[in-house]
A and B are shown apart, each in its own frame.
Chain A
Amino acid sequence: MRCLPLIWLFLLTACAGRTLYPLPGKGGKGAKLPIQTSRPYNIAHRGSNGEIPEETAPAYLRAIEEGADFIETDVLSTKDGVLICFHDFTLQNTTNVASHKEFADRNRTYEVQGSNMTGFFTFDFTLKELKKLRTKQRFSFRNQQYNGKYPIITFEEFITIARDAPRVVGIYPEIKNPVLMNQHVKWPGGVRFEDKVVETLKKYGYGGSYLSKKWLKRPLFIQSFAPSSLVYISNLIDSPKVLLIDDVTVLTEDTNQTYAEITSDVYFNYIKQYVVGIGPWKDTVVPVSNNYTQAPTDLVKRAHAHNLKVHPYTYRNENEFLHLNFSQDPYKEYEYWINEIGVDGLFTDFTGSLHNYQEWTSPLSETSKSPRQLLSQIAALVLPYEKA
């Protein structure tokens, strides 16, 4: 009986130390605003890099703030096999590596896809070394004020940003330069670059076919210019995959196939078993002459006929990227691609502008209603006609 007050005290402390309800910041999974699926996807290409250096944490956080459906990234590897978010396989265009004297000897030349390239390659740096660098804005005509502020992030850090968002935000990672990565980075046990990417995704609970319940909780598209990588991982994970297609003059890095070949009906018939869509360079979908868009090709029509989605890249606000018939107005470009060409998603450097355009012209409240909302709408319509 003497223990009673002690037990009582113990219980009190235990209960007061930990809240019995979940913290507001970590609300139940069901409470998050779900991903919209009723209008073309707003894919934040390398994050909101119109203003913030690409593929950094702030660029992704800004994109989520601005309304992105998906945040997109390119996955490469470090020397010690850590997956990072970085677009170029060399560091000089988007980091301050050139000002780091201690790395001066890392300036090397390698053969990449048939031609010699010189620079600081990501796979010559360990993660610890890479984290010493700071990113910078790639384009000189964009905001330079964040140069030297933010580090490169890992693939896992990128996933965490998406997972921690206040609403459901999808990820869109690219298996980037897999041929080069597998040449220069070896993982124990004969594990390949593609295996590591899938392993990381699975670790964070990604999986599920397109629009399945599991997928809607953690939306994901895996993209690559290398069809063989997508085929390779098709048995490893059922997440939807997208085949990227480069300009008409570029051969695929893994199979040396031409543009004409990989956009043929025969090829679509083959690849559609492995991918849910294609991601072409927009100037191949609608050719350009004298900086005016010409008549569209039938690429989108044929892709859609094969039930393949089309997510072209890349939409940018600056007038040098806007063809003249868009009157230097990116909203006119969005309108053309969404309403006339009918694409299913857009890779954009300016998440906010695309979000604005979509909210003004096809607001979600009108395109997707919950059953409850619909019922109350019907009730409101019927009410005046009720029998007295």
Chain B
Amino acid sequence: MVRSVISMKALWHSEVHNEQKWAANMKLVRALGVFAGGIFFMRNYDCLPLLLLSLLIAECASRPLYTLPSLAKAGTKKPLQTSRPFNVAHRGANGEFPEETAPAYMRAIEEGADFIESDILSTKDGVLICHHDVNLDDTTDVADHKEFADRKRTYEVQGMNMTGFFTVDFTVEELTTLGAKQRYPFRDQQYNGKFPIITLDEYIAIALDAPRVVGIYPEIKNPVFINQQVKWADGKKFEDKIVATLKKYGYKGSYMSKDWLKQPIFIQSFAATSLVYISNMTDSPKVFLIDDVTILTEDTNKTYNEITSDKYLDYIKPYVVGIGPWKDTIVPVSNNRLTTPTDLVARAHSRNLQVHPYTYRNENQFLHSGFHQDAYLEYDYWINKIGVDGLFTDFTGSLHNFQELTSPLPKLQ
């Protein structure tokens, strides 16, 4: 008796609580309902049995009883690699496509990115979008849109006056009428004007829809400026909105936890206060970005020396899992030659903080001499000599190639 109750409970559990089984069972129930209704109909209205048969067939044929192959269980996706430095697709594969567009991210996933990276800003109506600059001039065709000519404004951003078309002056509907363009003239111009700006939701969807586990790496961008210009109805701040969206899509779990490995994420920002602010809202790992030696932090006006001091690293350590410095500050450059590395990486590593420098680019104007115009030699230096834990690169495919050639992942048995 007891056994049958337990087995009944187990049956109930497996048939009702399992999402896919439940869906299949619901279809069965619906088919039965049609069957019963058909019989009732027949008895009262003298319809042919054929009608019943056709109803049954129609019902069963219209919906498959098996799950669609593309929606196979998450557990069958190839997992994120964690045995070699992370390949972080900086703004997507923007060496080839305009930055932060859907194709740029999809190409990055195709090329083997571990993480796709994005900058989050806001529209006038508080919608979170993927865009790097606070203004639209360098990366969209806004200048060609006569209807927006009057939106050209001047704002003070991080202490400097900037003139242009700002994202915070456009609704999301207006923004999506613009076409993204390639920022650098020496990169492929053929996709200019073809792809729109995407929202944070769309960016997340691209990652979740990938055929293997791909992490996201969103940046809380210019939070001081955004919070000044955009007010959300519920009194929430920019940072709150970002976290809410991430949670909505199930992003949670500390670094390397089971939840995190299913949906990997790093939340990055140049504003330490934003990272501290969200530390109670989400346990997802955070990374503190560090700009050039001459730049002050946008929220606390601190110098480079201050935020890379032992004291500050000890302070920030409980809130972040790593830092993301500009690579020329880790290894200073003189006359386009690399000089002796600083001890920043050593001090970060001694505090168990990861180091993910930015940004690696293939073009020779970005490669310091000593690398012989060869981006792979730069990867070799940073991965094998300096020992970084992740790299923000504009050329996902090249980094992936290098890693596959020199440190291939063990083949699955």
Binding site for B on A (CB under 8 A): 50-51, 141-143, 145, 290, 317-320, 324, 327-332, 350, 352-353, 356, 360-361
Contacts and interface: CB of A to CB of B under 8 A. Distances in A.
A145 B335 CA distance: 10
A352 B370 CA distance: 12
Given A318-B364, A356-B376, A360-B405, A327 B395 contact: yes
Interface in B344-400: 362-365, 369, 372-377, 395, 397-398
The 6 closest A-B pairs by CB, nearest first: A317-B373, A328-B362, A360-B405, A319-B363, A318-B364, A329-B398
Nearest to B373: A317
B257 interface: no
Nearest to A330: B374
Contact of B401 (A51, A324, A331): A331
B44 interface: no
Given A290-B190, A327-B95, A352 B372 contact: yes
B188 interface: yes
A314 B335 CA distance: 28
B186 interface: yes
Nearest to A141: B364
Contacts of B364: 141, 317-319
A332 B396 CA distance: 13
24 contacts: A50-B372, A50-B373, A317-B372, A317-B373, A319-B362, A320-B186, A324-B96, A324-B188, A324-B190, A327-B95, A327-B96, A327-B397, A328-B363, A329-B362, A329-B401, A331-B376, A331-B398, A350-B372, A352-B372, A352-B374, A353-B372, A353-B373, A356-B376, A361-B405
B373 A318 contact: yes
B365 A51 contact: no
A82 to B, nearest CB: 32
Contacts of B365: 141
A290 B190 CA distance: 9
A22 to B, nearest CB: 36
B70 to A, nearest CB: 28
Residue with the greatest number of chain B CB neighbours at <10 A, chosen from A324, A328, A329, A352: A328
Given A142-B373, A329-B397, A360-B405, 10 more contacts: A51-B369, A317-B374, A319-B363, A324-B188, A327-B397, A328-B363, A330-B374, A331-B401, A332-B398, A361-B405
A360 B406 contact: yes
B374 A350 contact: yes
B335 to A, nearest CB: 8
A352 B377 CA distance: 10
Nearest to A142: B373
B376 A327 contact: no
Q: What range describes how many residues of B lie at the interface?
A: 20 to 34
B248 to A, nearest CB: 35
A222 to B, nearest CB: 29
Contacts of B190: 290, 324
Contacts of A328: 95, 187, 362-363, 375, 395, 398
Nearest to B361: A328
B199 to A, nearest CB: 27
B374 A327 contact: no
B406 to A, nearest CB: 7
Contacts of A332: 397-398, 401
Contacts of A330: 374
Contacts of A331: 376, 398, 401
Contacts of B363: 318-319, 328
A352 B187 CA distance: 25
Contacts of B376: 331, 353, 356
Interface string B70-105: 000000000000000000000001011000000000
Interface in B316-341: 335
Contacts of A324: 96, 188, 190
Nearest to B398: A329
Given A143-B369, A328-B395, A353 B95 contact: no
Contacts of A353: 372-374, 376-377
Residue with the greatest number of chain B CB neighbours at <10 A, chosen from A142, A290, A356: A356
Nearest to A328: B362
A331 B373 CA distance: 12
Contacts of A350: 372-374
Contacts of A319: 186, 362-364
Nearest to A329: B398
Residue with the greatest number of chain A CB neighbours at <10 A, chosen from B186, B364, B372, B376: B372
Nearest to B335: A145
A318 B373 CA distance: 6
Interface in B168-213: 186-188, 190
Nearest to B93: A327
Contacts of B362: 319, 327-329
A329 B395 contact: yes
Nearest to B365: A141
Given A290-B190, A360-B406, A327 B372 contact: no
B397 A51 contact: no
B78 to A, nearest CB: 23
A321 to B, nearest CB: 10
A290 B405 CA distance: 31
Residue with the greatest number of chain B CB neighbours at <10 A, chosen from A141, A353, A361: A353
Contacts of B377: 352-353, 356
Nearest to B402: A331
A312 B284 CA distance: 52
A331 B377 CA distance: 12
Contact of A51 (B96, B188, B372, B405): B372
Contacts of A142: 373
Nearest to A335: B401
A143 to B, nearest CB: 5
B63 to A, nearest CB: 44
Residue with the greatest number of chain A CB neighbours at <10 A, chosen from B96, B362, B363, B395: B362
Nearest to A62: B372
A380 B235 CA distance: 74
Nearest to B336: A143
A110 to B, nearest CB: 35
Contacts of B95: 327-328
A146 B325 CA distance: 32
Contacts of A145: 335, 369
B230 to A, nearest CB: 36
A250 to B, nearest CB: 28
Nearest to B394: A328
Contacts of A360: 405-406
